[in-house]
Structure 1
């Protein structure tokens, strides 16, 4: 009895395609297509924020104007685009929601910092800094969970 090589190949292809991992496919799309361009926007907004805070702080007015006119609009644009991302699987959706939550905390912290500068309220500055730390912790948690999920579904993440 002869077995048709084409038929074996076709059956093997069906078996292999039946073994696809929807989370893996969603992660690949999420990381490579959806998030890659957004990472650039976030980095630019954070770099603008860093340019007038910490060691780069000059005075309240310079910080206030720069955050209000550059950082907040950039970060708002980033958040709007981030919220438009709609992963297909519940695993990636849940992960994505945790990221949105963390960046919204950071955004609210920046807005609180503006209010603190307006009111010259140092307690509000401390609150804003705590919120920024909470947002950064949320982003680190997101990245850690992303790495765990990627490893679990055989997706390699490169910088």
Structure 2
């Protein structure tokens, strides 16, 4: 049930390299201006989730209340702001939509965890864990594709 931060938590800066093109300009804006501020929200929500799951699990009620009252509202705020980001080029738009799909899947998994706790359904917990894994895979794919696109358009990504 572990969540991971995306490239937002790792990539803090993209540096212009070479001549400018529309995708390059869009990537620079996307990474440096649009996404960087969202990293804080994402990291906070994930830290709150991790604080009541895995090795930090205390009991079902503590986990349920914390996810419902703290984690999901934080993650929903992150998603709302993420969905407001509007890349200008189709290349960056496609990447962004894939990222949105992955984080929405993770949010759905968190909601399923609540239902699983409420119903004491261990099969549902397994389903939620599979959804979290699929969300993480989607985020890894987004990160890889972002790095490829950045490389293709001479944008150096640094931590």
- Structure (1 or 2) with the greater strand fraction: 2
Superposed CA deviations along residues 61-107 of structure 1, whole A, max 9, x for unmatched, are 00000000000000000000000000000000000000000000000
Superposed CA deviations along residues 37-82 of structure 1, whole A, max 9, x for unmatched, are 1111101100100000001101000000000000000000000000
Note the residue ranges of structure 2 that are not aligned, 5 or more in a row: 1-18
The TM-score normalised by the length of structure 2 is: 0.87
1:1-159 correspondence runs (5 A):
20-159=20-159
Superposed CA deviations along residues 101-122 of structure 1, whole A, max 9, x for unmatched, are 0000000000000000000000
Q: SS in structure 1 opposite 2:123? A: helix
Deviation at 1:20, TM superposition (A): 3.4
Q: SS in structure 1 opposite 2:155? A: coil
Q: Distance in 2 between matches of 1:65 and 1:145?
A: 36
Per the alignment, residue 6 of structure 1 pairs with none
Q: Distance in 2 between matches of 1:156 and 1:74?
A: 31
Runs of 4+ off more than 4 Å: none
Note the residue ranges of structure 1 that are not aligned, 5 or more in a row: 1-18
- Structure (1 or 2) with the greater helix fraction: 1
Per the alignment, residue 5 of structure 1 pairs with none
The TM-score normalised by the length of structure 1 is: 0.87
Q: Identify which of structures 1 and 2 has the higher relative contact order when contacts are C-alpha pairs closer than 8 Å and 6+ apart.
A: 2
CA-atom RMSD, angstroms? 0.7
Paired residues, what number? Answer: 141
